[in-house]
Amino acid sequence: MRIASGVSRWTMLHFGIALAALLLAEVLLVFGVADPLAALRAPSTLMGVHLITIGWLSLLMFGALFQFIPVIANTSLYSQKLPLYGLICIGGGLLAMLVGFFEMGQVSHFAVCLPVGGTLVLIGFTLGGINLAITLWRVRPVPLHAKFVVFALVFLFLTALLGISFALVFSLPISTPEFLKVLLGRGLSLHMAAGLGGWFMLTVMGVSYRLLSMFMLAPDEPRLTTHAALILTVAGLALYVVGGVISLWVGFDPWLLDGAASLLIALGLASYLADIIEFYRSRKRQHLELNSITAAAALLLISLSLVLGVIALALGELGRLAPAIGYLLVFGGLTGLGLGQLYKIIPFLTWLEVFGAKLGRGPVPRVQDLVNEPRAKPGFVLYFAASTLAAIALAIAAYDSSRTVTAVVFRVLVVLQLVGSGMVVVEHWRARHPDPNLKPSPMKIPGMPSGIKPPLSPAAAKSTTSLPAGGSVAAHVAPQTSPHSSHAAPHSAAPHTTQGN
């Protein structure tokens, strides 16, 4: 079935469930059900962690990939059915895992929910990965930006396999093979590295190359640093994860491998950040929209968390500061980046669905007319400020023996973070439900007094004689290079028409 709007059928459903999981995880933090200061293997902590990593970030990633991989690869998505089947498996598996975590350590028939749920999640990931892999296989050679996603999917599969291994140890400790029990120790850090570094970061890197260049009108031709970002980051993560598993199997200290892996990852991320800085420097859209500003803030927090992690590791304090650094990375960086990009992606896809078919038939609004940046800014400011301060409170609590005051401060900051993210989600909802009769707003040209209409090109001036009544000048000027002008067809930057199987 052909999707006439060019929008992947299940992308918005992925986004909606992902945002619900984020808000639920923050509610658990507010009421102390999930506590970052508790042991990482505590059932309540594991519930919150997997709500964020699977329910929020992974569904967000898959929703975006189903939409934008066809754009990156200039093709159509292989299947429009597999995303729904994968979503059902991931959602059902996550619910089963949450029940399993709740019953963990107790003699209960529900303990089997943990490995069963993990298996369902793995099946869902596999279905999504197969869909994306076949899509990319049909356009060989794979574009460089899409190669980030290919390797991200490999690390996702490794993350899920390690997670199922832990689930077997937790729920069936007596009948579990001895190696899996050994893996539970150091394997937890490997699980986190494969998930946070391999799956999330590589996906963010690959997709951001396309989105940031598209929304800022910046040149996106691969540079030497782009190749370096891919090769060095993937090599470092593979050395750390695969080398770590082998070291547990053989029985040797992997400190040398870990050092080399950390250096490679750091150089890869530095190359990526150099590319992103070049995007901002060479952009043709001089006025930065809110999603680009929040992307810069989020990437800054991601970089800061990684630098702090290296410093803490060198000082021997990583174990104590891991909750604070992880919180800054996951909530301040990755979640902030996700919320900010959704603020542009949701109205962009909504514009394609609601107004794309009206092109050439009369005035249509711009994508930017579907949002209200002055109204949305306070929510983003509150979210970034609260999540950053919450991470600082966790760092202070790591050295506070009583933790009474810091725990209260942290809880208050999480409440503010929840309010901020709730305000942003409301803006997402408003952008998703625009007035179908919305008219384009007048174009604002810097330096031109208000009330004066911008001059038309000769072609546009000639065409105004046949414009529909009530059409604004801004809606009928000659098409701009940006897909966000009022009359620009989304051929160059919009997702391609997708073919469902």
Q: Which long-range contacts (CB under 8 A, 24 or more apart) does 136-140 make?
A: 136/69, 136/73, 138/75, 138/78, 139/73, 139/74, 139/75
Which residue, 154, 171, 165, 87, is CA-closest to 119?
165
Residue 366 CA to residue 348 CA, distance in Å, equals: 9
Element spanning 212, H or E: helix 202-216
Tokens of 238: 């593979």
Residue 116 CA to residue 111 CA, distance in Å, equals: 9
Block residue for tokens 């150099």: 274
pLDDT at 178: 67
**129 to 41, 363, 380, 478, 493: CA distances (angstroms):** 28, 40, 32, 41, 24
Residue 407 CA to residue 286 CA, distance in Å, equals: 43
Which residue, 434, 289, 431, 440, is CA-closest to 347?
431
Residue 153 CA to residue 203 CA, distance in Å, equals: 8
Residue 363 CA to residue 369 CA, distance in Å, equals: 13
Verify cis geometry, omega within 30 degrees of 0, for the bond prior to 141. yes
Question: What count of residues does the chain have?
Answer: 501
Residue ranges in the chain modelled with pLDDT below 50:
1-5, 445-454, 456-500
Radius of gyration of the chain (CA): 24
Burial (CB count within 10 angstroms: exposed 0-12, middle 13-18, buried 19+), residue 223 = middle
Tokens of 291: 């999603």
pLDDT at 232: 96
pLDDT at 367: 87
pTM of the model: 0.83
Coil, strand or helix at 489? coil
- Span 72-94, pLDDT tens digits: 788 889 999 999 999 999 999 99
Q: Region of 42 please: left (phi>0), alpha (psi -120 to 50) or beta.
A: beta
Ordered DSSP codes for 346-390: HHHHHHHHHTGGGTTSS----GGGG--HHHHHHHHHHHHHHHHHH
pLDDT at 180: 66
CA atoms within 13 A on the CB side of 5: 15
Q: Please report, in angstroms and rounded to a whole number, the separation of the first and last CA atoms in the chain.
A: 7
pLDDT at 413: 96
Which residue, 154, 37, 92, is CA-closest to 395?
37
